[in-house]
Amino acid sequence: MKLGVFMVLFGDKSREDALDDIAQQGLQCVEIGTGGYPGKAHCDPALLLSDASELRKFAHQISSRGLEISALSCHGNPMHPNPLIAQQFHDDFVATVRLAAELGVKTVNTFSGCPGESEHSENPVWVTCSWPEEHARVLEWQWSEKVIPYWTKQNIFLKEQGVRVAIELHPGFVAYNTETMLRLRSECGDAIGVNFDPSHLFWQAMDPVSSIKELGRQGAIFHVHAKDTAIDAHNTAINGVLDTKSFRDEMNRSWIFRTVGYGHGEVVWRQILSALQLVGYQGAVSIEHEDSLMSREEGFQKAVHFLQSMLIKEQVQDVWWS
C-alpha cells in the first residue's frame, strides 16, 4: 500500500506549493479534487481536457516530484432533486472520468447521491427507518426510479472510459454502509466500488475490519481514506449517534472527526491495515483531515507519522509471509 493525501487539505496553496509540501513528507501519491464538494483548487478538468500542453504540465508537476495520482475526487450528489444542482454535480463527474481516462488514473471518488422523496421534492431525503410505511415506499422509489437507473448508465460510461468509481460510504446518501454499497454494485455493475473511509463507519457502530472483509470478498475496495472518529461516551449514552449539532460544538456532540490515532489507537488501525492486506488491497491510503481540534499542519504531520511507520511494518510483514 502507498501513503498519500487528499489535496483539498491544501486548498489555500498553489498546486506546486502543495505538491512540494506533500513530497517533502515522503508521501507517494495524491488524491486531487476536481469539482463537487472538494472544488477545483488544484485541478480544473475543463481546462486540462481542452489544452494538451496544460495537461502535460499538470502531469509533469506531479510525476517530477516522485508522486502519482491515486484518485480524482468530485464528491457530489448527481441525484439532487434540484435539476440544476444535479446537473452540475453530474457534469463534474463526467469531466472527471474523462480526465482520469486521459491521465491513466483508474479511480474517481464520489458519493452515491441521494434523491428526494418524490418528483416534487426540493431537497434530498435520507431514509433511516422502515416505519411508518411511507418511509419504506420512499426508499423503494428512490432506488428503483433514481439510483439504479443513474448508476447503471454510469457503469456503462465508466467501462467505456476504462475508469472505475469509488463510492464513499457516507450517511445522508443512499450508499452509507456495507449492505447498501453491495446492493449498488450488484444492481448497477462492477465498475462501481468503494472509497473505504473508516471514520464514517466508526460513528455508525460498524466494525471497519468486518466491513473490509465483506467488501474485499467482492473485490469492491477501490480506494481508502485515512480519517478517524472519536466517540463521546457520555453524549452518545444519552443521545445516540444520530447527531445534527454543528461540528464546532465539540463538547456536546456524540462524535467528531479526528486525525488518525486520536479516535482509535494503533491496535485498531493496525487491524484495519492488516485486513486490507488480507483482502489483497494494494492501493493508496489517502490522509483526509477534518479534525476541528487540530490545525492543518499538526493534523497532517501527525497522520503521516502515525501511518508511515505502520505501513512500512505491514509491507515488511507481507514480504516475510510471502
State the CATH number of the domain containing residue 104.
3.20.20.150
Residue 320 pLDDT: 38
Q: How far apart are CA 129 and CA 241, in angstroms?
A: 15
Q: How far apart are CA 221 and CA 63, in angstroms?
A: 25
In total, how many domains does the chain have? Answer: 1
Query: Can you give the residue range of the structural domain that contains 254?
Result: 2-321
Contacts of residue 144, defined as CB under 8 A and 6 or more positions apart, other chains included, come to none
Q: How far apart are CA 172 and CA 138, in angstroms?
A: 15
Helix (H) or strand (E) holding 108: strand 107-110
pLDDT digits (tens), the chain, 322 positions:
999 999 999 999 999 999 999 999 999 999 999 999 999 999 999 999 999 999 999 999 999 999 999 999 999 999 999 999 999 999 999 999 999 999 999 999 999 999 999 999 999 999 999 999 999 999 999 999 999 999 999 999 999 999 999 999 999 999 999 999 999 999 999 999 999 999 999 999 999 999 999 999 999 999 999 999 999 999 999 999 999 999 999 999 999 999 999 999 999 999 999 999 999 999 999 999 999 999 999 999 999 999 998 986 555 455 434 4
Residue 309 pLDDT: 85
- Kindly state the DSSP code that residue 169 receives in the 8-state scheme: P
Query: pTM for the full model?
Result: 0.95
Helical residues (DSSP H) of 129-250, grouped into ranges: 133-141, 148-161, 178-188, 198-202, 208-217, 233-239
Q: How far apart are CA 165 and CA 32, in angstroms?
A: 14
CA nearest neighbour of 118 among 86, 91, 79, 85: 79
Q: Which residue, chain included where needed, has cell 454502509? A: 177
- Kindly state the DSSP code that residue 51 receives in the 8-state scheme: -
Q: How far apart are CA 43 and CA 33, in angstroms?
A: 7
Q: Is residue 105 classed as helix, strand or coil in its secondary structure?
A: coil
Which cell goes with 112?
Answer: 452515491
Handedness of CA 60, 64, 70, 75 (dihedral sign): negative
* Cα separation values, 185 from 70, 100, 214, 278, Å: 21, 21, 13, 21
